[in-house]
Structures are given as C-alpha cells and as structure tokens.
C-alpha cells in the first residue's frame, strides 16, 4: 500500500505528460497535489499526525528556497533575451556564404552558447536564425538547430544541474564534473550524426574537415571539464563556447578592423556578460569579495544566494544598460519578460516543491526499495530510461531532475551503487533528451513553418536520442561491474 502511494504521483505526472492533454504546469500541479496527499498518509501512518505540520513547513520552505535559485535565472535570462530583441542586435547581417566551418560553429558553439546564457529554447531560436543566414531551411535546419541543446546540462547557467546536485546531496561542481565526462561519449555520437545531417543538408564534409571538427569538439569538451573543475558550474558552458567562438571567428573570417568593430558592437551585451561572469568566478579577489557578500543560506543542504554574485544580477544589470542605450521601453521589455517567463517559473516551483516532499516524506526511499526488491541491482538499468522519459516530457532539466533525482539517488543507495554517478547519469540523460521534447520540436516546426506531422519530424530526429541513452546505459554497466 505504501509503495503504491509513493509511486502514484510519479506515474500520474508521467501519464498526464505522455497523454498530450496536459501541460507541464497542469501535470506538475496534479503531481504536487497527489504528493501532498500521499505524503500526509504515509507520514501519519509512520510518525503520527503531529509530524505533518513540521513536514509541511520545512519541505515547503526548502522547496521555495531551492526554486528561487532557478527562478531568478529563468526570469533574468528571459529579461536579457528580451533586451537583446529590443536592441535589434540579432539582425546583424544578411545571408552568409555557407561552408562546413561556419555550420560547425553555429551548431556546436554559437547556439549552445546562447542556450547556456539564457536557456529554455532561446538557443534554438538563435540557431534557426543563424542557419537561415547560411541558406538552410526545412527539415535540415530543424535537425541541425537541435544541436543548440547539445550542452544543455549547462543551459540557463546550469539551473538543471544545480537543482539535481542539491537534491542528490552533491555540490553543483561535483555533478558538473561527472556530467562533463559523460558528455564526451555523447558528443562523439552527436558529431557522427552531425556529419550525416550536414551531408543531407548539402554540406560535403571532407576528411580534413572532419578531423578539424573532431579537434575543435575535443577542445570544447576539455574546456567544459576544466571550467567545471576550476570555476563555477554556471559558466562551464558559456565561457568555453564564447572563448572558442572568438578564436574561430578570428581564424575563419580573418576580419579587418571594420568587421571586428561591427562584430563586437553587435555582440557587445554577450561579450560584457561573459566577461562579468568569468571575472566574478575566476578572479580570486573579486570572487572572494562578492560570493559571501550579503549571502543568505537558510538551509545547510542547499546553496547560498549572494545577490551580487548570482548570475541573474549580471543578466539584469547588462540588460538594463542595453535597453537604456537602445532607448527602448523598459515597461514593454518587462511585460514581455513576464509573459515569456511566468510559466517556466511556475513549472519549476511546482516540481521542486514536489521533489522536496518526495524526499522528506520518505516516498523516494519507498520507490527505490520497491525497484530493488523486484529487479535487484539490475534496477539501476532503469535510471537512463526514467531520465530520458523525464527530459523528453518536461522539456527542462530542472523539472526532470526535481521529479526523478530523489528516486534514482535513493535507488543507488539501496543497491549499493555510487549515488554520485547515478546522479550524473540522471542529469546527463534527462537534460540531453530535452532537445527532442515536443516543446522544442514543435517550436522549431512553427518557426520554420514546416507543413509536416510530428510523426514525420520524429522519424528524422529520433537518432539524436541515441547518444545520451547509449552513454547512460554504458555508464550503468560500468558501475555495476565495478560495484
């Protein structure tokens, strides 16, 4: 009976999302309601009714606090994007000469950089605009545009990874490092698929160009790992892509002074943001001054929030300067931000609070014990599947990790497998599978005005699910063999 109650909220959410008749917010609200009811019954049975008040106050407060870290970046990132739109810097040129070097830069650097800074599909929008400048459209643009999500564990300044790490009892950098290692085999497979999609789009990739692509991909992944190791996870996707974008632009375009000034002017807000984030995390005096300044940490097992160190502060500050210089209406930008961000904020809030109750009431442990009793240590093989379904259906790493991380880490402890690596598999698979979520694919089809059904789209796009799934299953096999 207890196990059934513990499973009910999870299956309710998955069922509603899979039906296509409920939005992520509606499914989350239903799941939260079911979680509250189930946790009340379970806690009353095990600890008595008197424990309910303490459980409700603590888990609600903890969920609200953890949600705030994500919501602050969601809202700030959307504000920054709207400020850029008001400035008009995204329309900075006409059609470019198409070549494989430019295509790789768009797919593996420009679009992932935009997604790392803002998140929530903004990188996909920028990718499609850049691909159109290369003369691409239709199905080829949709497929190649999905590569904007190829570094999505660090999307939206790593909000999903931060939530997952907190719920797994890890630091964000610990989860970021292990996710960076798993991203190596994932990117190897992504690159192989990219060459196939590029060929279908009319980009003949020579052996020399493939070696060049492989070299730069290796350099990108090495820098992502290094930034996770030496800096904060928030910039581990944005900083390497920005750095390599600058180097590639210099190598491939050979800009004269006029073109260089034009490129810097067009991308000035992104340059300023990258420099500000890197300075506050890589320059010890500045970092050591800002990180503890007015820092708030009401819960020992959750990250602190320092207003002037938080990425959202710099997103908003630079965005305000952009709007002022563009002489745009700040009121209109704020209104557009509210319309664009409220749903993602609400979804995050609901799923994170649900996750806190799952942990605090003991339901995550109940589900893990049930899986262990049925499948034993082989139950670990379910982690990539759960993660894939969660990422695919929610379209966001924060929501998917909030929904599933408590269960999979409890399962790892029950079967005596390293919880940190199980958390990494959950985080890597679920975040990478968001690229194929109906939210992303339908958005791309709408922007490109593709007159085809979802079934046709997925018949072409489904191979992109293989890299994270295969890497996830391989990691589980290694864990089971070593345990």
Q: Tell me what pLDDT residue 129 has.
A: 85
| For residue 94, pLDDT beyond 80 | no
Confidence of residue 483 (pLDDT cuts 50, 70, 90): low
Tens of pLDDT, residues 284-331: 999 899 999 999 989 877 788 999 998 889 999 999 999 999 999 999
For residue 27, give every residue at least 6 positions away whose Cβ sits within 8 Å of its Cβ, in sequence order, or none.
12, 13, 16, 17
Nearest to 209 by CA among 221, 191, 223, 224: 191
CA dihedral sign, ordered 192, 193, 196, 199 = negative
| For residue 89, pLDDT beyond 70 | no
Nearest to 190 by CA among 133, 227, 149, 248: 149
Tens of pLDDT, residues 35-74: 999 999 988 888 888 888 888 999 999 889 988 988 888 8
Nearest to 186 by CA among 433, 437, 478: 433
| For residue 442, pLDDT beyond 80 | no
Phi, psi of 158 (to 5 degrees): 65, 35
Q: For the CA atoms of the chain, what is the radius of gyration?
A: 22
CB 279 within 8 A of CB 286: yes
Tens of pLDDT, residues 231-267: 999 999 999 999 999 999 999 888 888 888 888 888 8
What is the 3-state secondary structure of 453-477? Answer: CHHHHHHHHHHHHHHHHHHHHHHHH
Confidence of residue 91 (pLDDT cuts 50, 70, 90): very low
3-state secondary structure of 118: coil
The total number of structural domains that make up the chain? 1
Q: What percent of the chain has pLDDT over 70?
A: 98
Q: Exposed e or buried b for every residue in 322-361, given b needs 16+ CB within 10 A?
A: bbeebebeeeebeebbeebbeebbbbbbbbbbbbbbbbbb
Of how many residues is the chain composed?
A: 483
Tens of pLDDT, residues 408-421: 999 999 899 999 99
CB 426 within 8 A of CB 473: no
Mean pLDDT (the chain, rounded): 89
User: What would you measure as the largest C-alpha separation in the chain, in angstroms?
Assistant: 74
Vertex 190, ends 167 and 399: CA angle to 5°?
25
Confidence of residue 195 (pLDDT cuts 50, 70, 90): very high
In the chain, % helix, strand, coil (3-state, to 5) comes to 80, 0, 20
Find the helix packing angle between 51-87 and 330-360, rounded to 10°. 150
CA 419 – CA 427 distance, rounded (Å): 12
Q: Tell me what pLDDT residue 471 has.
A: 97
Q: Tell me what pLDDT residue 84 has.
A: 86
Of 213-227, 256-270, 420-434, minimum mean pLDDT range: 256-270
Question: DSSP secondary-structure letter at 107?
Answer: I
Confidence of residue 339 (pLDDT cuts 50, 70, 90): confident
Q: Tell me what pLDDT residue 479 has.
A: 93
Q: Tell me what pLDDT residue 219 has.
A: 98
| For residue 220, pLDDT beyond 60 | yes
CB 417 within 8 A of CB 425: no
Q: Tell me what pLDDT residue 1 has.
A: 63
Give the DSSP per-residue string, 160-202. HHHHHHHHHT--HHHHHHHHHHHHHHHHHHHHHHHHHHHHHTT
Q: Tell me what pLDDT residue 152 has.
A: 94
Alpha helices in 201-237 (DSSP H): 207-230
Question: DSSP secondary-structure letter at 452?
Answer: S
CA 389 – CA 403 distance, rounded (Å): 11
Alpha helices in 308-465 (DSSP H): 311-326, 330-360, 363-375, 382-394, 397-414, 419-433, 438-448, 454-461
Q: Tell me what pLDDT residue 178 has.
A: 97
| For residue 92, pLDDT beyond 70 | no
Q: Exposed e or buried b for every residue in 139-166, given b needs 16+ CB within 10 A?
A: bbbbbbbbbbbbbbbbbbbbbbbbbbbb
Domain of 108, in residue numbers: 2-482
Whether the model pTM is above 0.75: yes
For the beta carbon of residue 1, count every other beta carbon within 10 angstroms.
8
Q: Tell me what pLDDT residue 166 has.
A: 92
CA 333 – CA 240 distance, rounded (Å): 29
Tens of pLDDT, residues 137-193: 889 999 999 999 999 999 988 989 999 999 999 999 999 999 999 999 999 999 999
CA 227 – CA 396 distance, rounded (Å): 23
Confidence of residue 3 (pLDDT cuts 50, 70, 90): confident
| For residue 456, pLDDT beyond 70 | yes
């Amino acid at each position: 009976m207890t196990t059934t109650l513990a499973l009910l909220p999870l299956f309710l959410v998955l069922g509603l999302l899979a039906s296509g008749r409920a939005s992520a917010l509606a499914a989350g609200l239903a799941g939260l309601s079911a979680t509250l009811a189930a946790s009340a019954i379970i806690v009353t049975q095990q600890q008595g009714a008197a424990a309910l008040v303490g459980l409700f106050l603590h888990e609600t407060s903890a969920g609200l606090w953890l949600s705030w870290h994500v919501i602050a970046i969601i809202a700030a990132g959307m504000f920054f994007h709207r400020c850029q739109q008001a400035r008009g810097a995204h329309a900075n040129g006409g059609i470019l000469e198409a070549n494989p070097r430019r295509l790789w830069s768009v797919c593996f650097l420009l679009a992932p950089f935009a997604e790392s800074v803002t998140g929530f599909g903004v990188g996909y929008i920028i990718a499609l605009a850049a691909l159109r400048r290369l003369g691409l459209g239709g199905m080829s643009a949709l497929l190649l545009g999905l590569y904007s999500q190829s570094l999505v564990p660090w999307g939206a300044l790593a909000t999903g990874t931060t939530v997952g790490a907190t719920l797994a009892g890890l630091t964000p950098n610990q989860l970021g490092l292990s996710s960076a290692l798993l991203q190596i085999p994932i990117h190897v497979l992504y690159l192989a698929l990219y060459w196939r999609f590029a060929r279908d789009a009319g980009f003949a990739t020579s052996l020399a160009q493939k070696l060049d692509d492989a070299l730069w991909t290796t350099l990108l992944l090495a820098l992502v790992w290094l930034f996770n190791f030496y800096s904060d996870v928030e910039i581990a996707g944005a900083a390497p892509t920005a750095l390599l974008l600058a180097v590639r632009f210099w190598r491939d375009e050979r800009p004269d002074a006029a073109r260089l000034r034009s490129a810097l002017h067009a991308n000035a807000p992104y340059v300023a943001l990258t420099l500000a984030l890197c300075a506050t995390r890589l320059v010890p005096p500045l970092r050591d001054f800002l990180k503890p300044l007015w820092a708030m940490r009401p819960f020992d097992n959750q990250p602190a929030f320092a207003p002037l160190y938080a990425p959202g502060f710099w997103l908003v500050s630079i965005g305000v300067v952009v709007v002022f210089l563009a002489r745009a209406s700040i009121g209109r930008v704020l209104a557009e931000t509210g319309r664009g961000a409220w749903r993602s904020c609400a979804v995050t809030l609901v799923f994170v609070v649900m996750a806190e109750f799952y942990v605090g009431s003991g339901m995550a442990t109940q589900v893990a014990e049930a899986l262990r009793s049925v499948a034993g240590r082989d139950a670990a093989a379910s982690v990539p599947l759960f993660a894939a379904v969660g990422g695919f259906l929610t379209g966001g790493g924060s929501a998917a990790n909030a929904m599933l991380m408590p269960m999979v880490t409890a399962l790892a402890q029950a079967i005596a497998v390293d919880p940190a690596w199980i958390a990494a598999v959950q985080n890597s698979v679920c975040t990478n599978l968001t690229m194929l979520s109906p939210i992303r694919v339908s958005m791309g089809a709408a922007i490109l005005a593709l007159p085809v059904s979802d079934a046709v789209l997925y018949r072409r796009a489904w191979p992109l699910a293989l890299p994270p799934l295969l890497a996830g299953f391989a990691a589980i096999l290694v864990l089971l063999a070593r345990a």
